[in-house]
Amino acid sequence: MTTNQNKQAILIELPKALLHIVRKRGYLFRKFPSRDYSLLGNINGKDWVRAHIQSSEKAWDLCHAISETCKKEMSHLCYAEPEGSIGRFKDLSTPMTAPSFNDGLPDIFRSNQPNHHMAGFGPAPFSPHNPHLPGFDLPKIPGMPNIPTMPDIGGTFAPQPTAGRQAVFAQLREIPEFISLNESQQQMFETECAQLRESESAMMLSGFSAVFTIASLPDTSMRLRQFLTTAGIRQSA
């Protein structure tokens, strides 16, 4: 997150209709008339674009400005994030997989060996009831009920919507004012907090008080700092 005048890589989520407008006129927005952009792909019916924008603003200040500019020019408050190791685009585009138990196991016990799987031995996917509790890959036994705190015998692992996601910051959802924000604003604030938590200055952030600690970090955007500061005053009132 730098304030130097340079091209910053920003990932933007746009509905197809808005992407059509961008392609037709050949640039993103009047305020940010960048022609240096590329289509990353379509996820959940929306297109993701990587744009390189010349700006001296901090990365997240630029993202919030892009979102607000989209609202003014196209009547849609879009989602935007700096390209990085943590982000909503990476979460959505990376397939969620169950943890592997194969590492360090003898070949006879590895889950990709056909014999032990059919015999009912070896590790199975995590239980959908308790994602931290490994189960046994046993065939379904007629008449045997599935115990809530045990593996669903004979069932299949269904990843939870938030499993493996990194661009989340649950403490934000405990702030009453958070629910009144637009969905894109919620997602952007949450991703920003997750990136700040990853940074060296915020690695130890935990608990509900972390959201107000973030307000004092130097890389926090003006929009997020204003929201957290206002919410903090109301919380203490």
pLDDT in tens, 142-155: 554 444 433 333 33
pLDDT digits 0-9 by tens, 5-56: 688 999 999 999 999 998 888 888 888 878 889 999 999 999 999 999 998 9
Question: Burial, 75: exposed, middle or buried (Cβ in 10 Å; 0-12, 13-18, 19+)?
Answer: exposed
Record the pTM: 0.68
Q: What are phi and psi of 22, to 5 degrees?
A: -60, -45
Q: What angle do CA 80, 29, 81 make, to 5 degrees?
A: 10
